[in-house]
């Protein structure tokens, strides 16, 4: 099938490439099928492109890029929905928000990561109720702090 997107133009979509989110993503429950695209070769970012609604696309990042100690505990019912047989099948991403014209202020939502069973092509947004993570972790500030340059850059 062909998918026409405003950001990426025409995409050829194979059924095997589609990731199904049975519960959708918070606020976008109507979109159940997505493609996972590379932002660009070697980039830390990916794009989760809606198939059911091509106007929907999310920028994703592996949270361990800037938070190496990041951990997600998935509830048993969520493991069942994702049909995960082992932790190696799970790929975890955080949704990134980039303010228009201010990429240095991009944030990542670590409280509601996207977990994908890469083998079964199933996905789910998992909301972590309590813990050390919030919805607006400043990606570049955390990278700079990790590199020892401090929060102010």
| Dist. CA 40–CA 19, nearest whole Å | 20
Q: What is the pLDDT of residues 39-69, one digit of tens each?
A: 888 888 999 999 999 999 999 999 999 999 9
Q: Are 33 and 42 in contact (CB under 8 A)?
A: no
Best CA proximity match to 23, nearest among 32, 34, 14: 32
Residues of the chain with pLDDT > 90: what percent? 62
Tokens of 109: 């939502």
Can you tell me the mean pLDDT for 98-126? 94
Collapsing DSSP to helix, strand or coil, 78 comes out as helix
Residue 13 burial by Cβ neighbours in a 10 Å radius (0-12, 13-18, 19+):
middle
- Per-residue confidence at 153, pLDDT binned at 50, 70, 90? very low
User: H/E element holding 141?
Assistant: helix 139-146
Q: What's the alpha-carbon Rg for the chain, to the nearest Å?
A: 16
Burial 70-108 (b: 16+ CB within 10 A, else e): bebebeeebbebbebeeeebbbbbbbbeeeeeeeeebbb
pLDDT at 136: 93
Q: Are 63 and 112 in contact (CB under 8 A)?
A: no
CATH number 1.10.132.20 given to 2-146 = no
| Dist. CA 91–CA 93, nearest whole Å | 7
pLDDT > 70? residue 151? no
């Amino acid at each position: 099938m062909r998918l026409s997107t405003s950001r990426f133009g025409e995409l050829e979509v194979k059924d095997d490439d589609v990731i199904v989110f049975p519960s959708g993503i918070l606020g976008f429950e109507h979109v159940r099928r997505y493609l996972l695209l590379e932002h660009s070769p070697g980039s830390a970012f990916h794009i989760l492109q809606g198939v059911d609604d091509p106007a929907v696309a999310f920028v994703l990042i592996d949270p361990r890029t800037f938070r190496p100690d990041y951990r997600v505990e998935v509830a048993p019912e969520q493991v069942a929905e994702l049909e995960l047989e082992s932790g190696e099948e799970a790929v975890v991403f955080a949704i990134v928000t980039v303010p228009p014209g201010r990429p240095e202020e991009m944030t990542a939502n670590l409280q509601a990561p996207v977990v994908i069973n890469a083998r079964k092509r199933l996905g789910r947004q998992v909301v972590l109720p309590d813990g050390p993570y919030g919805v607006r972790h400043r990606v570049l500030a955390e990278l700079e702090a990790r590199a020892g340059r401090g929060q102010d850059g």
